[in-house]
Amino acid sequence: MTINKNTKLQILKDVFGHNSFRDYQEEAIDNILVKRDILMLIPTGGGKSLAFQLPSLMMDGVTVIISPLIALMQDQVQALNSQSLKAAMLGSNQDQNQNETIISQLKNKELKFLYISPERLNTPKMQAILSSIKINFFVIDEAHCISEWGHEFRDDYRSLSILKERFAGINIAAFTATATPAVQEDIKRLLNLQNPLVIKGLAYRRNLKITIQQRTRRGFDELLEFLNPRKEFCGIIYMPSRKKCEILCEFLTSHGFSAQFYHAGMDTHERDSVFESFIHDKAKIIVATIAFGMGIDKSDIRYVVHMSMPKTIENYYQEIGRAGRDGESAEALMLYSSEDLIYSKMRINEIENENYRRILQEKLTRIYQFVSTETCRHQFIANYFNDTIPPCQDSCDNCLSEDVQKCDITIDAQKILSTIYRTNQRFGKGYVIDVLRGSQNAKIIQNSHDELSVFGIGKEKSKKYWYVIIDRLLELQNLSFGDFQTLLITHEGIQTLKGKTKIDIVSNRLIIKESLKKKSVVIENVDFDMELFGKLKSLRSDIASKLNVPAYIVFNDKTLKEMARVKPQNKEQFLKINGVGERKLEQFGEEFLAYIKLYM
């Protein structure tokens, strides 16, 4: 088909409210319009939804979107319907009458977008229904799920290979935010994409600041330091287990935070209620397992916190991608411990499939290298996804460190290694440190370890200091873990013990008490009227409540800030605001303009 650029730009402004395309969007749209298969890899929040929604409005027929994420499908259907774009989802969370109504709408050409899960696509009934309607193209969302090399492998995604067989001549647009070269090849091969155009953005979120810190015990004290100056912001906190979600949520509510927990052990009604509370800003914080978040399309999440080390870099990158989808400043904080590595190794070793176990072991090694690195965090992630970027300079803790000098800790490393050696490599971190610091622990006395030459030689340093040194030795593979978390000296450790290897560390890692409040604060240049912005948020909240939709579906924060800066006085000025199109002007323009005029 002939692509009319003016028509594209008109739809972009009138329907979606944007004055220009983001990077890579127009290229994807043009190739979908000429019916070419594409594989698009851009970071979360990069605008992939518009890349398939806009061309659908320029084509006859229905766009079928296959996604593994019910929450995301619900969000997108709600957002499209709020713009008078006919969309529906066929899902297990709907009753038979609802699904039959949607099928009837499909056959009567009353829908433009149909969202389904891969499991539903696999049914003969669904395939028969799709064969009876005009489909303009298929969208495969979260396409990495098709690959064993992906971090969220789903067996039902394998069946998507039938699309090219059953629906010959219909092109496919596959999208993901996280795909290594191996995963990309799997996606192309398993979907049987024909001469696909690969559109790849850099794996770099400029507006997202990454901070990683070793936690002490549960990490609750460090978390409070981070959260206290951010009480008005929305955020997600990931915990490694259901029970820990509930414990942390209770702790936060007792300290005055608006928090709820979410995990797979809750019934559907409870989970839906928590999800709605967060989406409608009734709860500021969700404490969750990874069962929550991948499908969240909420644009104003200002931070994501991990209270333990994620399983893979793909998981981590996907999860922190929930923050700052509106392009405004956001933060990602991880509090980790080397115990996280032990726990993950134990879980991986329980997997029977040898090939899959090996893949996960490789991925675990890379995520531990990431948390341990002293180089730019964003650069490390980009390299993992085969991208090349310069150091971010100001968007991660390593680049922002005021003191980038390294300290020689070889002597202290030798003290640790010697203590482990003289206690026969039979004990874990805490015991080794107690011997080193000269503790009168009954077990130490019982084992006669108070008589060793290493007893008390590290008493001038704190326990936290020695934990940092041990973790550094684990990072450099001078130490490994044995059964029951005992510390074992490796070949590299023997070389250090003999004085053949020097051990150093970035000096700021030894400043144990440095405050997260100082290290990691959202900094924003305020060039808008803060009072008006607050009032516009209240108006937005009232409108969203009446319509029973999330606030960001009315307007996102970025659009409200521009309103608070420009202070439009008529429809023409209001329409120039990025995020305002003809439909939003018709729906909400009168109320917002009246409010701004009253304020002025």
Residue 586 DSSP class? I
Residue 352 DSSP class? -
The whole model's pTM is what? 0.70
C-alpha distances in angstroms, 234 versus 162, 247, 286, 396, 416? 41, 20, 8, 21, 42
Dihedral, CA of residue 256, residue 261, residue 267 and residue 273, to nearest 10: 60
pLDDT above 90 for 472: no
- The pLDDT tens digits for 558-595 are 899 999 999 999 999 999 898 888 888 988 989 999 98
Under the banding of pLDDT at 50, 70 and 90, the label for residue 515 is: very low
Under the banding of pLDDT at 50, 70 and 90, the label for residue 520 is: very low
Helix pair 557-566, 530-547: axis angle to 10 deg: 130
C-alpha distances in angstroms, 559 versus 323, 389, 540, 544, 599? 17, 30, 11, 15, 18
Integer Cα distance of 121 and 274 in angstroms? 28
- The pLDDT tens digits for 241-300 are 899 999 999 999 999 999 999 988 888 788 888 888 888 888 999 999 876 655 566 888
Average pLDDT score over the chain: 86
pLDDT above 80 for 485: no
Integer Cα distance of 408 and 427 in angstroms? 26
Tokens of 220: 């609750």
Task: Give the per-residue pLDDT at 522.
Answer: 46
- Comparing 519 with 393, the larger pLDDT belongs to 393
- The pLDDT tens digits for 133-183 are 999 999 998 888 887 655 555 667 777 888 988 898 999 999 988 778 888
Rounded to the nearest angstrom, the gap between the alpha carbon of residue 597 and the centroid of all alpha carbons in its chain is 39
Task: Give the per-residue pLDDT at 31.
Answer: 95
Rank 323-337, 413-427, 528-542 by mean pLDDT and report only the highest.
Answer: 413-427
Residue 394 DSSP class? S
Task: Give the per-residue pLDDT at 61.
Answer: 93
Number of neighbours of residue 366 by Cβ within 10 angstroms: 14
Tokens of 119: 């499991």
- The pLDDT tens digits for 75-121 are 788 888 888 889 999 876 677 888 889 999 998 999 999 999 888 88
Alpha helices in 151-263 (DSSP H): 162-166, 181-190, 220-227, 242-254
Task: Give the per-residue pLDDT at 519.
Answer: 45
Under the banding of pLDDT at 50, 70 and 90, the label for residue 204 is: confident
Task: Give the per-residue pLDDT at 525.
Answer: 54
Task: Give the per-residue pLDDT at 514.
Answer: 40
Nearest to residue 446, comparing CAs of 431, 430, 425?
Answer: 431
C-alpha distances in angstroms, 10 versus 21, 51, 53, 558, 590? 12, 15, 14, 21, 22
Which of 56-60, 66-70, 306-310, 488-492 has the least mean pLDDT? 66-70
Terminal Cα-to-Cα distance of the chain (whole angstroms) = 49
Share of the chain above pLDDT 70, in %: 93
Collapse the DSSP code of 488 into the 3-class scheme (helix H, G, I; strand E, B; otherwise coil) and give the result.
strand
Domains of the chain: residue spans and CATH:
5-200 (3.40.50.300), 208-400 (3.40.50.300), 410-502 (1.10.10.10), 530-599 (1.10.150.80)
Number of neighbours of residue 404 by Cβ within 10 angstroms: 12
Phi-psi label, residue 477: left if phi above 0, alpha if psi -120 to 50, beta otherwise: left
Integer Cα distance of 296 and 278 in angstroms? 10
Number of neighbours of residue 546 by Cβ within 10 angstroms: 8
Integer Cα distance of 339 and 481 in angstroms? 10
- The pLDDT tens digits for 192-201 are 999 999 998 8
Task: Give the per-residue pLDDT at 516.
Answer: 44
pLDDT above 50 for 538: yes
